[in-house]
Amino acid sequence: MLKIKDLHANVDGHEILKGINLEIKKGETHAIMGPNGSGKSTLGNVLVGNPNYEVTQGSVEYLGKNLLELDPEARSCEGLFLSFQYPVEIPGVSMTKFMRAALNQHRTYKGLEPLSASDFLKLVKEKREMVKLDSKLLSRSVNEGFSGGEKKRNEIFQMAVLEPTLAIMDETDSGLDIDALRIVADGVNQLSSPERSQIIITHYQRLLDYIKPDFVHVLLGGRIVKSGGPELALELESRGYDWIKQEGGK
Amino acid sequence: MNMKVEQQYITLFKESRDLLDNNSAPVMNKYRQEAFDNFERLGFPSKKVEEYKYTPVSKYFEQEYGLNLSRLDIPSKPRDLFSCDVPGMDSIQAFLVNDLFHQEAVKGLPKGVLLGSLKELAETHPELVEKYYAKIANHSKDAIVSFNTAFAQDGLLLYVPKNTIIEQPIQLINLLRSDVDLMSNRRILIVLEEGAQAKVLICNHTIDQVNFIQTGVTEVFVGANAQLDFYELEETHTQTVRFNNLTVHQQADSNVLLNNMTLHNGVTRNSTEVVLKGKGAHIDCHGMAVEDQNQHVDNTTLIDHTVAHCTSNELFKYVLDDHSVGAFTGMILVRPDAQQTNSQQTNRALCVTRDAKMYARPQLEIYADDVRCGHGATVGQLDETALFYMQARGISEREARLLLMFAFVNEVIDTISIDALKERLHTLVEQRFRGEVQKCSECSICK
C-alpha cells in the first residue's frame, strides 16, 4: 500500500527526515515511536502534503501512485488521512458545512453524486455516536471552543466519515484522559479492516494497549533505527529510548 | 482653488434655479441657496480634506451627466423591471426611480405612519418636514451634503408616530434607470418618534448600462426608547458612483442597528455619522464590502458620544480581490460629558490578491476619563493553516478559500435581524464569491 524510500525532508531549511524507509501492507497497523524532535510528526505531515515541509530526496509510492506529486486534497480523496496532533480552529465555518464539503468532494472524486442533506445527516449521526461526539459541537465552528479531548474525538469522527484507506494518527492519545482514550481507540478499532492500514504515531505505549500494532518502529534523529513487533513497544515503555541511542541505531 | 469641475454645476444651478424650485417643495427650496453658497465656497473635497483622503471626488463629477430637474417621468414600471424581493421576506415595498418616488399606494402601514415622496409630504405636512429637514446633515461643512442640499428635489420620508411599531420590514428599492448618463441627488428623511420601532432596508440597483452618479443624504431621527434597524444594500454595476451621507441622531435609550453592505458597485463612499444625544442610547454600526476588479468602497464613520452611559459597537469587514480598493476611517469621539461610555470598533480586511489595497484608519478621541473604548484593525490574507487543514480533508483549495471568505463576512451578515434577509445575504455572498452572475434569481431583467 505504502512504500517510503530514502525520504528526506526539511522544515525551514533544517533537515528533519534523513532517509526514512518504510513499507506498509494492506490491513497492517504500524506504530511509530520515538522521543520529541525525532521527526515523527514531520513524517505524518510530509505524507499528507503539508506545504511547510519540503521533500528534498526520496520517493513515496501509495497504491501504485507517486504520492508526492498529488495535491493535499487529492491525497485525501485517495484515502489518506492524518489525525492532526494540533487540530486547527476555523472560526465561522460550521462543522456540518465543513464535513459536508469534504465528504462531497470525496464523492465527486470517486464519480459519485453528492449526498443528499438527509442522507448526510443520517451518516453524521451514526459516526458521531461511534466516537460519542456531542451533537452540539456539529453546529459550532470547526474546533472553535472545543476542549482538547473534543478536538481529538473530532479528528476520529472526521476519519469515521471519510473512511480512509490509510489513516495516520499523530499523537491522538496526547491530552486524553483514560476514558477519552478508550473511546478514541474503540473508534479506530471499529474502522480497521483487512483492506485498511494505520500508522500510529505516539510517545507512549498507552494507546497501544487499545490498538494493537503489528509492527513497531523507533524513529530517532530522522531515521528509523529499530523495528520489531508489539513487544518492542513494551520494552521501550520499561527501558526508555536511551539504550537504542547507545546501540547506535543499528 | 481651481474650480473647473465645479463650474459646470455652478452654472447649472444658476440657470436652473426656477426648474429646481418649481419641481420641489418650499421646505426643500428654503435651504437651496445657502447650501449652494456653501458648495461654491467649499468646492469638491480634494485629497487634502482628511475625510476624503482615500476617495477622490472631483474626477467623478468631471464628465457630463444628465439631470432630471424638470422631473420628467422616466418610463418605467418598477414592479415589472424588478420583482427582486427577498424570498420569504414579508415586506412593505416602495420604489425610488433615481431620486423620484414612484407613485403607488403603499399598503399595510399602521395608522399615522407616513411613507412616501418627500416632496409631496413636504407640501402636505410642511410643519413636520420643516422640523427635521436639513437639520442634522451639515451642509456648511461637507461639500457633498451642500451639493445634495442645493440640488435635491425629492426622495423619501418615513415618519413613525410615538409608540407605533411597524412589524413588517419596509423595503425601499432604489433603481437607477436612464437611457443617458445620469446624475441623481437623493434625499431621505426618517423620523421615529419616542418608542417607535421600524426596520428599513434600502436596496440599490442599476437597471441600464449607462454611467450613473448619485449623491445621497439621509437624515435619521430616533426618539427616546425608539428602535430602528436600517440596512442599505448595494448591488450596482461598475459604472456607478455613489456618495452617500447618513446622519443619525439618537435620543435616550434608543437602539439603532445600521448595516451598510456593498456586494457589487463601481465607486462608493459611505459617510456615516451617529450622534448619541441621550443617555443609554446604543448603536450597532456595521458594514461589509465584497469587491473585485477595480471596485472602490470607502466607509467613513463618526460615532459621537455626547452624553454618559451610551454604548457603541462597530464592525466592518472587507474582502478585496483583483485590483479593488477598500478604505475605512472610523472615528470614535467621546466628549467630556460622556462618562461610562462603552465603545468597540473592529475593522478587518482580507486582501485576496497582492494588488488589492486596504486603507484602515481607526481613530479615537477621548475627553472623558471613565470610559471603555477598544479598537482593532487588521489587514491580512486567509489563514494558511486553516486552508491546509481543509485541503487535508479533501476540500479543494478553491473551495476552501471560498469557505474561509464566506466565514469571514458571515460575522457581519449574522447580525442582521431579519431572518429572510440574512438567508438571502448568505446566498448572494456565496454566489458573489463563486463568481456567479451577481443578480437576483427572480429579477426579470437578469433573465
DSSP secondary structure string for all residues of A154-202: HHHHHHHHH--SEEEEESTTTT--HHHHHHHHHHHHHH--TT-EEEEEE
Which residues in chain A are closer than 8 Å to B397, comparing Cβ atoms?
A: 71, 73
Checking DSSP bridges between strand B267-276 and strand B325-334, what pairing results, if any?
Answer: unpaired
Query: What gap in Å lies between CA A179 and CA B183, rounded to an integer?
Result: 70
* Residue of A89, A142, A162 lying closest to B394 (CB–CB): A162
Q: Which of A148-152, B63-67, B77-81, B236-240 has the lowest mean pLDDT?
A: B77-81
- The structural domains of chain B, with segments of one domain joined by +, span 4-446
Which residues in chain B are closer than 8 Å to A141, comparing Cβ atoms?
A: 407
Q: Residue B24 region, left (φ>0) first, then alpha (ψ -120 to 50), else beta?
A: beta
Is residue B103's pLDDT more than 90? no
Mean pLDDT (chain A, rounded): 91
Residues A214-232 have a mean pLDDT of 92
B14 in reach of chain A (CB within 8 A): no
Q: How confident is the model at residue B435, as a pLDDT?
A: 79
Q: Which of residues 422-441 of B touch A (CB under 8 A)?
A: none
Q: How confident is the model at residue B440, as a pLDDT?
A: 45
pLDDT bin (cut points 50, 70, 90) of residue B121 is very high
Q: How confident is the model at residue B447, as a pLDDT?
A: 32
Cell numbers found for residue B431: 454566489
Checking DSSP bridges between strand B100-101 and strand A53-62, what pairing results, if any?
Answer: unpaired
A41 in reach of chain B (CB within 8 A): no
The percent of chain A in helix, strand and coil, each rounded to the nearest 5, is 40, 30, 30
Is residue B73's pLDDT more than 80? no
Q: Which residue do the cell numbers 399606494 mark?
A: B105
B411 in reach of chain A (CB within 8 A): yes
Are A73 and B389 inside 8 Å of each other by CB?
Answer: no
* Residue of A51, A76, A92 lying closest to B393 (CB–CB): A76
pLDDT bin (cut points 50, 70, 90) of residue B42 is very high
Cα torsion B414, B419, B423, B429: sign = negative
B402 in reach of chain A (CB within 8 A): no
**Partner residues linked to B249 by β-bridges:** B221, B275
* Residue of B384, B390, B394 lying closest to A77 (CB–CB): B394
Is residue A231's pLDDT more than 50? yes
Q: How confident is the model at residue A205, as a pLDDT?
A: 81
Q: How confident is the model at residue A180, as a pLDDT?
A: 81
Q: How confident is the model at residue B439, as a pLDDT?
A: 47
Q: What is the pLDDT of residues B299-357, one digit of tens each?
A: 999 999 999 999 999 999 999 999 999 999 999 999 999 999 999 999 999 998 999 99
Is residue B358's pLDDT more than 60? yes
Checking DSSP bridges between strand A65-66 and strand A53-62, what pairing results, if any?
Answer: antiparallel
Are A90 and B406 inside 8 Å of each other by CB?
Answer: no
Question: Within 13 A of A109's CA, how many CA atoms are on the CB side?
Answer: 19
The reported pTM is 0.85
A162 in reach of chain B (CB within 8 A): yes
Minimal C-alpha gap between A78 and chain B (Å): 9
Give me the helix-helix angle, A95-109 and B384-391, nearest 10°.
50
Are A71 and B391 inside 8 Å of each other by CB?
Answer: yes
User: A48, A71, A88: which to substitute to probe chain B, counting the most B Cβ within 10 Å?
Assistant: A88
Mean pLDDT (chain B, rounded): 92
B378 in reach of chain A (CB within 8 A): no
Checking DSSP bridges between strand B342-351 and strand B311-320, what pairing results, if any?
Answer: parallel
| Cα torsion through A205, A210, A215, A220, rounded to 10 | -30
Are B392 and A72 inside 8 Å of each other by CB?
Answer: yes
pLDDT bin (cut points 50, 70, 90) of residue B210 is very high
Q: How confident is the model at residue B83, as a pLDDT?
A: 58
Assess contact for B119 and B111: CB atoms under 8 A. Answer: no
Q: Among candidates A243, A227, A246, A247, which has minimal Cα distance to A28?
A: A227
Assess contact for B339 and B306: CB atoms under 8 A. Answer: no
What length is written for chain A? 250
Is residue B4's pLDDT more than 90? no
pLDDT bin (cut points 50, 70, 90) of residue B444 is very low
* Residue of A93, A106, A142 lying closest to B394 (CB–CB): A106
pLDDT bin (cut points 50, 70, 90) of residue A130 is confident
Q: How confident is the model at residue B252, as a pLDDT?
A: 98
Minimal C-alpha gap between B145 and chain A (Å): 38
Range B45-71 burial, b when 16+ CB lie within 10 A, else e: beeeeebbbbbebbebbeeebebbbee
Which residues in chain B are closer than 8 Å to A76, comparing Cβ atoms?
A: 391-394
* Residue of B389, B399, B411 lying closest to A92 (CB–CB): B411
Query: What gap in Å lies between CA A100 and CA A103, rounded to an integer?
Result: 5
Is residue B25's pLDDT more than 50? yes
Query: What gap in Å lies between CA B200 and CA B223, rounded to an integer?
Result: 16
Cα torsion A59, A60, A66, A72: sign = negative
pLDDT bin (cut points 50, 70, 90) of residue A248 is low
* Domains delineated in chain A: 2-247 (3.40.50.300)
pLDDT bin (cut points 50, 70, 90) of residue B47 is confident
pLDDT > 70 fraction of chain B, expressed in percent and rounded: 95
Which residues touch B72 (CB under 8 Å, ≥6 apart)? none
pLDDT > 70 fraction of chain A, expressed in percent and rounded: 99
A71 in reach of chain B (CB within 8 A): yes
| Cα torsion through B350, B354, B355, B356, rounded to 10 | 10
Number of A to B CB contacts under 8 A, please give it: 77
Are A82 and B392 inside 8 Å of each other by CB?
Answer: yes
**Helices and strands (H, E) in chain A, number of each type:** 9, 12
Q: How confident is the model at residue A210, as a pLDDT?
A: 87
B406 in reach of chain A (CB within 8 A): yes
Residues B293-300 have a mean pLDDT of 96
* Residue of B390, B392, B407 lying closest to A92 (CB–CB): B407
pLDDT bin (cut points 50, 70, 90) of residue A236 is confident
Is residue B437's pLDDT more than 60? no
Q: Among candidates B424, B376, B383, which has minimal Cα distance to B400?
A: B383
Residues A176-201 have a mean pLDDT of 87
pLDDT bin (cut points 50, 70, 90) of residue B86 is low
Measured in whole angstroms, how far is the alpha carbon of residue B365 from the centre of its chain?
24
pLDDT > 90 fraction of chain B, expressed in percent and rounded: 82
Q: What is the pLDDT of residues B408-429, one digit of tens each?
A: 999 999 999 999 999 999 888 9
A168 in reach of chain B (CB within 8 A): no
Q: How confident is the model at residue B84, as a pLDDT?
A: 56
Q: How confident is the model at residue B443, as a pLDDT?
A: 42
User: B319, B350, B385, B389: which to substitute to probe chain A, counting the most A Cβ within 10 Å?
Assistant: B389
CA distances (Å), origin B140, targets A250, B16, B21: 87, 22, 20
The amino acid that residue A107 corresponds to is R
Which residues touch B206 (CB under 8 Å, ≥6 apart)? B175, B176, B177, B212, B236, B237, B239, B240
Q: Among candidates B226, B261, B223, which has minimal Cα distance to B244?
A: B261
* Residue of A71, A109, A162 lying closest to B393 (CB–CB): A162
Maximum mean pLDDT: which of A7-11, A236-240, B1-5: A7-11
Residues B240-245 have a mean pLDDT of 97
Q: How confident is the model at residue A201, as a pLDDT?
A: 93
DSSP code for B165: B
Q: Among candidates B137, B174, B159, B165, which has minimal Cα distance to B34?
A: B137
* Residue of A49, A88, A102 lying closest to B395 (CB–CB): A102
